[in-house]
Structure 1
Amino acid sequence: MRTLLDLVVPSECGGCRRPGTRWCPECARSLSGPPIRVYPRTDPGVPCWASSRYRGPARQAVLAAKERGRRDLARPLGLALAAGLAELRAPGRPLILVPSPSRRAAARRRGGDPVSRCALVAAQSLHGCQVLSCLRVWWGVRDSAGLSARERDRNLRGRVSAAPMPVRTMNAQVVLVDDVLTTGATVNACARALTATGLCLDGVFVTCAV
């Protein structure tokens, strides 16, 4: 079936567009290095880490997953996320991944939420890890592309909320996950929303950082 499908819609690597494979070994290696500590312009008040800079295969894979419907890339991107989290994980504590929220219109257009899909793949490969999709973006939020750091902050302020946290998360290591970190306005708004529920956010981990 895969061979017949490739005759109609040829497969190509989500990172370098090499034909005949969905994700090549070279692109996989580009996301296999140690986590990179990053310092966004808008500080969320917790350490921020990335699997890669926003360039090369990581950038192409994120764009393909978001804008070209490449749902199959959730697995390699999720496994890269899991590998980075494993290096930063606090021993003996359960791990909670909180995906950064998407606007409903964007999620419908993309056939779902790529960040949540990656988080679920990561959680499946990490023992004692779960995903809590508790963040919501309310009406009035614009697409952040092309906005300055100040405009991004104004765009999101007061428009991200979190559902009350269950008691079982109180002793967990909680990490906010996203695909791209630019100015930090989104993760900062998410951090504020989580803190408002009484939750202690331990860090942020993204696929790539600008």
Structure 2
Amino acid sequence: MSRLRRAGARTGGVAAAVVLTAVASGCGIRTTSVPVDAGPAPSRVPCSVTGDEIATQTSGVPVRVFLLCGSQLEPVDRRAPLPREKPDGDRVPTASALLAQLLAEPSENERQAGFSTAVKGPLLVTGGYKGDPAGTLRLSRQPEDLNPTALSQIVCTLANSSAGAGEASVVLGGPGHYPPRRLACTTGLKERPESAPPTTTGPPSPSAS
């Protein structure tokens, strides 16, 4: 009888193991041919420059530019050779200094942090024409002809400075006599800089004399 009991116990143990294996396999993750959208892969670049890098830039006034990092626009603090401006001063010197920063290649530390720029020269910025809204800036190339990411960099950099038109926007035109447009730097544009900057009406501005 003892032998039969031991044999029965062994048989029961094997059966239990089979049942547990079947349950475990049913609860596990099985391969499937259906694609699963898990979102973009996490970026391995820090997209952040250390304070030591900024501290070494001893000349110029603090400025903020938007560079490309991990397919998005991220702000970078720098110093630019620019006289300290007045709140209602000429926007062109500020815009020129910021554009020069965007045209310059990122520093070694910025490159290691994952930053790059899509803005390529030659490219200049001047004031508006007679009849343009106050605060208009005109580029030496038509904005629509620029690389979309480069235009997004320019819009966000100028819009978030004293060269902008307020409310995170900038009134921007080209060298021709096409009317300038007020372009906005939105969260969506920072996340998808390859898209076209949205236009906004904003408060009315008097014409330039």
State which structure, 1 or 2, has the greater radius of gyration over its C-alpha atoms.
2
Q: Higher helix proportion, which one? A: 1
TM-score relative to the length of structure 2 = 0.30
Normalized against structure 1, the TM-score is what? 0.30
Higher RCO (Cα < 8 Å, 6 or more apart) = 1
